[in-house]
Chains A and B, each alone.
Chain A
C-alpha cells in the first residue's frame, strides 16, 4: 500500500514540477539580519536562468520559505567553470532518499538546478549520517570539505539536536563556528531547519531550536530553508482538503520532496538574486488557514 501511495506521489509531484513556476515568491521581501556582514559578491551575472520552480504541492502562498543570502563562492565557480560541487550533509540522510524522485532528493536538486541554469553541471556529494548530532556533523563537514572541495554545503541541521535536548548555547556555538570556518574556506552554506510535526509544535525546546536557527541564519547572513513553516502550511492546506497526503508521515515525505525544491530555490536566489528572469505563471493555490 505504501509503495502504491509513493508511486502516486511520484507521478503527482513530477507533473507538478513541470506545470508551475512560482514567481510570487521572488517578489516577496527578503529578510536579512540587522548585523549582517555583507560578504563580497561577484558582479551580477547576466543569464537566462530561471528561479528553481516549486511544484504545486510545495507552494505556500506568500510565506517566505527561502530566506535569501548571496552565494559568492558558488557564483564564482559558476562563472569560472560552469560547474558547481554541492556537499549534502546532515543528520537524516534524507537527501539520499529516493522515493519521490529516481536517484533521490539530491538528484532532484541537481536536475532542478540544471534545468533552471542552462549549461550548468552540478555534482552532488551525499554524506549524511543518520542520528548524528550537529557537533559530529560539524567535524565531518571540515573533513568532507578537505576531501571533496565543494563550493556549497547543504546542511540539514538541528532536528537530532532538538530531539536529544542538546543545550542551545552548545548548538549555537557549533553551528556558528562551522559557518565561520566554511566562510573562511570559501565555501557557501545553505541551512535546512527543523521539520514540522504537529505534536512538536508546542514543545518549547523544539521551538527554541527553530528560533535559534533563524537567528543564526540572520546574524551570519546565510541562506536558510524554513522547512517547518513550509510543512506547516502544506499541512494546513491539506487539512482543508486541498492536499495529497492522507497521513502525517506521508506529508513528511512530501515535505522532503519540497525540501529539494526549496534548496534549489535558495541556490538560484543566492546566485542571481533579483537578476532572475521570471516567467509569467498562473497564481498558486493559497493554503487555507
Chain B
C-alpha cells in the first residue's frame, strides 16, 4: 500500500530536488537551495534520512523481525543500491561518450573522472565494479552502499546492546578523523569523496533519533529547548558561510579535521550545523502541510520513491550539465533544464505508484 504523505518523505523529496539542482555546477537555480547558506547540504539530509528509514526496516523495540531475516534483508538492500550504482554509472559513461561524439569534443570524455574509463579501461572497469572508481557527482550511492553494508552490524548492536551504538559510532568517527583514515580510490589515485567511516555517524544519528525511546524520545521531549539552542547556531553558521566567521584552517588546533569544514570527513561543525538546521527547519512542516498540501503530497511522492528518483536525478543532472555546456549555459537554458528535469523526476516517482494502484484494482 502506498504510504500517506509524511514529514520524512517530504524532506527526502526536497533533498532529492536539491541534489538534482546542486549537481549541475553553475546552474542559476542552485543559489536557491540551502547549500548556498549552510555548511551542510542535501547530502547530509539524504544520509540522515537514510538512517531514519533504516529504523522503518529494523522496526521499533518490541516489534522487530528475526536477526537473520534482518541481516539478509539489509544485505539485499545493499545489493540493490550497488546494482543501481553500476547502472547509473554505465549510463553516465554512455552519456559522456555520446555527447563527446555528437559535439566532436574530447573534453567531455574527461569530465568527472570518466577519462580513465576510456583511456585505461582494463583496471578502471575493475575499479568501477569494486566501486573504488567513482565518477564525480556519482559518489553518494557508493557511500550509501557502504553504509548499508554496515547496517546489519548497526541493527544488531541496536537490538542487543542499544546503549553501545552511539558510543561505538562516535568512537569510529573520532578515530577516523584523528588518524585520519581515508578510503583510497583505484586506479586513479585519490580518496573516496564521502568517507563512509566518518559519514556513518550522521546515518546512525538518523537511525537513533527515529527510535521511539532512547535518544529519539529525548530529542522529542526536549524539542523546544533544542530549537532555542539551535536557532542561534543556524544564524551563526549562516554568518560563517556568508562572512567567513571562522578561524583560518591553518590556525586551528590538532587534529585539524575536528575544526575545519571537511565534506569528505563530515567534520563536527557540519554535523552540528545540520542537526541545528533540521531541528529549526522541521518547525515549518505542519504549516507547509496546512497551507500547501499539494506540495507536501508532491515531495512526499518523490521521497517515497527515493532510489528511483535519485538514480534518474543523477542522470538528469549530468544531462543538464551537458545541455548547459552545448548551449552555453544561461538563465533560459537553466530554466528549461530545471523544468524538464523536475518533470522527469515527477514521472519517475509517479510511474511505480501508478503501477501499484493498477495492480491493486
Contact B262 A164 (CB under 8 A): no
Chain B 171-199 near chain A by CB (<8 Å), digits 1 or 0: 00000000000000101111101000000
A residues near B324, Cβ cutoff 8 Å:
164-165
A residues near B106, Cβ cutoff 8 Å:
197, 248-249, 251-252
Contact B120 A130 (CB under 8 A): no
Contact B107 A159 (CB under 8 A): yes
Contact B256 A147 (CB under 8 A): yes
For the complex, what is the distance from the CA of A146 to the CA of B118, rounded to whole Å?
35
B residues near A3, Cβ cutoff 8 Å:
120-122
Interface residues of A (CB under 8 A from B): 2-3, 6, 92-99, 103-104, 106, 126-133, 139, 142-143, 145-147, 159-161, 163-166, 185, 195, 197-200, 205, 248-249, 251-253
B residues near A253, Cβ cutoff 8 Å:
115, 119
B223 to chain A, nearest CB (A): 33
B residues near A197, Cβ cutoff 8 Å:
105-107
A and B contact pairs by CB, cutoff 8 A, 17 listed:
A2-B120, A3-B120, A3-B122, A6-B119, A98-B123, A127-B191, A130-B112, A131-B112, A131-B137, A142-B249, A146-B252, A147-B256, A164-B321, A199-B105, A205-B328, A249-B109, A249-B119
Assess whether B128 is interfacial by the CB under 8 Å rule.
no
For the complex, what is the distance from the CA of A109 to the CA of B118, rounded to whole Å?
23
For the complex, what is the distance from the CA of A98 to the CA of B188, rounded to whole Å?
7
Using C-beta atoms within 8 Å of the partner chain, give the interface range for chain B: 35 or more
- Known pairs A128-B190, A248-B106; A146 contacts B330 (CB<8 A): no
Chain B 51-68 near chain A by CB (<8 Å), digits 1 or 0: 000000000000000000
Chain B 101-139 near chain A by CB (<8 Å), digits 1 or 0: 001111101111111101111110000000000011100
For the complex, what is the distance from the CA of A128 to the CA of B136, rounded to whole Å?
11
- Known pairs A146-B256, A199-B104, A248-B106; A126 contacts B190 (CB<8 A): yes
For the complex, what is the distance from the CA of A3 to the CA of B123, rounded to whole Å?
10
Q: Which of B103, B321, B330 contacts A199 (CB 8 A)?
A: B103
A14 to chain B, nearest CB (A): 16
Contact B113 A93 (CB under 8 A): yes
B residues near A129, Cβ cutoff 8 Å:
136, 190, 193
Assess whether B329 is interfacial by the CB under 8 Å rule.
yes
B residues near A133, Cβ cutoff 8 Å:
25-26
- Known pairs A133-B26, A165-B330, A252-B110; A146 contacts B119 (CB<8 A): no
Contact A92 B330 (CB under 8 A): no
For the complex, what is the distance from the CA of A95 to the CA of B116, rounded to whole Å?
12
Interface residues of B (CB under 8 A from A): 25-26, 100, 103-107, 109-116, 118-123, 135-137, 185, 187-191, 193, 248-250, 252, 256-257, 260-262, 321, 324-325, 328-330
Contact B118 A249 (CB under 8 A): yes
A residues near B261, Cβ cutoff 8 Å:
139, 143
B residues near A131, Cβ cutoff 8 Å:
25, 111-113, 136-137
Contact A200 B107 (CB under 8 A): yes
User: Nearest CB to that of B262 among chain A residues?
Assistant: A143
Q: Which of A104, A146, A164 contacts B188 (CB 8 A)?
A: A104
Contact B190 A96 (CB under 8 A): yes
B346 to chain A, nearest CB (A): 26
A residues near B100, Cβ cutoff 8 Å:
249
Q: Which of B110, B120, B329 contacts A98 (CB 8 A)?
A: B120
B residues near A93, Cβ cutoff 8 Å:
113, 188, 190
Q: Which of B115, B122, B257, B329 contacts A97 (CB 8 A)?
A: B115
Contact B188 A97 (CB under 8 A): yes
Contact B325 A163 (CB under 8 A): yes
For the complex, what is the distance from the CA of A2 to the CA of B121, rounded to whole Å?
8
For the complex, what is the distance from the CA of A98 to the CA of B123, rounded to whole Å?
10
A residues near B328, Cβ cutoff 8 Å:
165, 205
For the complex, what is the distance from the CA of A218 to the CA of B16, rounded to whole Å?
43
A194 to chain B, nearest CB (A): 9
List 9 extra interface pairs beyond A93-B188, A106-B189, CB under 8 A: A6-B120, A98-B123, A98-B188, A129-B193, A130-B114, A131-B113, A146-B252, A200-B107, A252-B110
B41 to chain A, nearest CB (A): 11
A residues near B118, Cβ cutoff 8 Å:
2, 249
- Known pairs A131-B111, A131-B136; A99 contacts B257 (CB<8 A): no
Contact A164 B26 (CB under 8 A): yes
Q: Which of B107, B185, B249, B250 contacts A195 (CB 8 A)?
A: B107
Q: Which of B104, B109, B188, B257 contacts A96 (CB 8 A)?
A: B188
User: Nearest CB to that of B327 among chain A residues?
Assistant: A165
B residues near A99, Cβ cutoff 8 Å:
116, 119-120
A158 to chain B, nearest CB (A): 12
A8 to chain B, nearest CB (A): 13
B residues near A200, Cβ cutoff 8 Å:
105, 107
A128 to chain B, nearest CB (A): 6
For the complex, what is the distance from the CA of A128 to the CA of B264, rounded to whole Å?
12
